[in-house]
Homo-oligomer: A and B are copies of this chain.
Amino acid sequence: MAVRLEDVAKLAGVSMKTVSNVVHDYPHIRPATRARVEAAIAELGYRPNANARRLATGRTGMLALAFSDVSVPYFAELARVVASLAGDRGYRVLLEQTDGTLEREREILSTREAGLVDGLIFQPTLMPTAELASLRGIVPLVLLGEGSAPLSVDHVMIDNTGAAAEATAHLIALGRRRIGFVGHEETAPAPTTLQRLAGYQQSIEGAGMRVDMSLLLSSGSHGAQSAADAVRRALADGKSFDALLCRDDLAAIGALRALQESGLRVPEDVALVGWDDIMMASFTHPSLTTIAPDTTALAALALDMLLQRIGGYDGLGRHVIADHRLVVRESAPEPAAAR
């Protein structure tokens, strides 16, 4: 059926080893031999079989990247940089989506089949630390994003609490005093959310104010829609606020839409800060002030740690922090420009 290494060898009148040498351009081959083999390869249209190769070498050249859903812009943008950096390092990336269900997260971590990928970069949504820890070791693993990672597993994140504190401080510097939070889960907030809320609280209390619990506008699920609904509900309930820290840019976009519908001006009446700096954050009107994680650094750190694990490194989990910065745009401008 398919053309095999052996067929090439036969046609070229050499051994399989020689063909293999040519394919991997092993240096010490007589030019004439090489030419003959190359001609045979071309004539037959030979293409090495990936699976046979992998079975023989035990290496796949593939990495998996798992998270809930590619259609979430942050993840799509992350996938892009991970794929690109992985490519530079000689790996391709298999995307795995969990739909944010624990069952799918388990499936991916326990990886029913061996040898599919050499390693896994995983941003959990639901899986608790303890389970994560118990599943480590099956495949080289690096965790992304979540607040709490087991000590035994490598982990990259940004300083969520610090970033939330900065963002909140920015709003306070703008003279805002009734600062709400939008987009956290109604029940069982994720670790990430808790960290962001902690930073938010820290800055508010640091400025001598108190958190008004009624301004924590939780939303049923992530995404713009439910954030918009949360803001609409708050407005309908007569809640008043002059700024909103949003769990992510999607929530900010939903909030923006809800505010504009009800005739409120952003940032004059309500200032808004998002999180993630997705592409759309530059194109809303007003554009979004947002926390921009250094996604490239994040991905690079994760990949490098993963490659070390694949290479056999077996120490304790390393927990590293990637950079972030507050990108100031129109929805919450520099204090000088405010008012």
**Which of the residues B51, B70, B71, B115 comes within 8 Å of A115, measured between beta carbons?**
B51
Least Cβ distance of A69 to chain B in Å?
6
Given contacts A94-B94, A95-B95, contact A71 B279 (CB under 8 A): yes
Least Cβ distance of A247 to chain B in Å?
16
Inter-chain contacts of A138 with B (CB < 8 A): 47
Q: A95 to B115, Cβ gap below 8 A?
A: no
Tell me how many chains of this kind the complex includes: 2
Report the separation of the CA atoms of residues A73 and B72 in the bound assembly, to the nearest whole angstrom.
Answer: 9
Q: Which of A265-305 contact B (CB under 8 A)?
A: 279-280, 282-285, 287
Least Cβ distance of A65 to chain B in Å?
9
Contact string against B for A residues 93-122, beta-carbon threshold 8 Å, 1 for contact and 0 otherwise: 111110000000000000111111000000
Q: A73 to B70, Cβ gap below 8 A?
A: no
Residue A256 is within 8 A (CB to CB) of chain B in the complex: yes
Contact string against B for A residues 219-263, beta-carbon threshold 8 Å, 1 for contact and 0 otherwise: 000001100100000000000000000000000011011001100
Least Cβ distance of A200 to chain B in Å?
24
Given contacts A47-B113, A76-B76, A112-B47, contact A70 B55 (CB under 8 A): no
Given contacts A51-B55, A228-B283, contact A2 B114 (CB under 8 A): yes
Residue of B nearest to A77 (CB): B71
Report the separation of the CA atoms of residues A65 and B29 in the bound assembly, to the nearest whole angstrom.
Answer: 38
Inter-chain contacts of A257 with B (CB < 8 A): 283-285, 287
Least Cβ distance of A32 to chain B in Å?
25
Residue A60 is within 8 A (CB to CB) of chain B in the complex: yes
Report the separation of the CA atoms of residues A49 and B277 in the bound assembly, to the nearest whole angstrom.
Answer: 40
Q: A97 to B80, Cβ gap below 8 A?
A: yes
Most B CB contacts (10 A, CB to CB) among A69, A94, A116, A283 go to A283
Residue A53 is within 8 A (CB to CB) of chain B in the complex: yes
Residue A189 is within 8 A (CB to CB) of chain B in the complex: no
Least Cβ distance of A186 to chain B in Å?
21
Inter-chain contacts of A213 with B (CB < 8 A): none
Most B CB contacts (10 A, CB to CB) among A2, A80, A225 go to A80
Inter-chain contacts of A112 with B (CB < 8 A): 47-48
**Count of chain A residues near B, Cβ 8 A:** 50
Inter-chain contacts of A116 with B (CB < 8 A): 50
Residue of B nearest to A46 (CB): B114
Q: B47 to A55, Cβ gap below 8 A?
A: no
Residue A19 is within 8 A (CB to CB) of chain B in the complex: no
Residue A34 is within 8 A (CB to CB) of chain B in the complex: no
Q: Which of A121-151 contact B (CB under 8 A)?
A: 138
Which 5 A-B residue pairings sit nearest by Cβ, starting from the closest?
Answer: A76-B76, A50-B113, A51-B54, A71-B80, A47-B114
Other than the given A47-B114, A49-B55, A73-B76, 15 more pairs (CB < 8 A) read A47-B111, A47-B138, A48-B113, A50-B113, A50-B116, A70-B70, A71-B73, A71-B79, A73-B73, A76-B76, A92-B96, A93-B95, A224-B283, A253-B280, A254-B283
Q: List 23 A-B contacts (CB under 8 A).
A: A2-B114, A47-B111, A47-B112, A47-B113, A50-B115, A50-B116, A51-B115, A55-B55, A71-B79, A73-B76, A76-B76, A80-B97, A93-B95, A94-B95, A224-B279, A224-B282, A224-B283, A225-B282, A228-B283, A253-B280, A256-B285, A257-B284, A257-B285
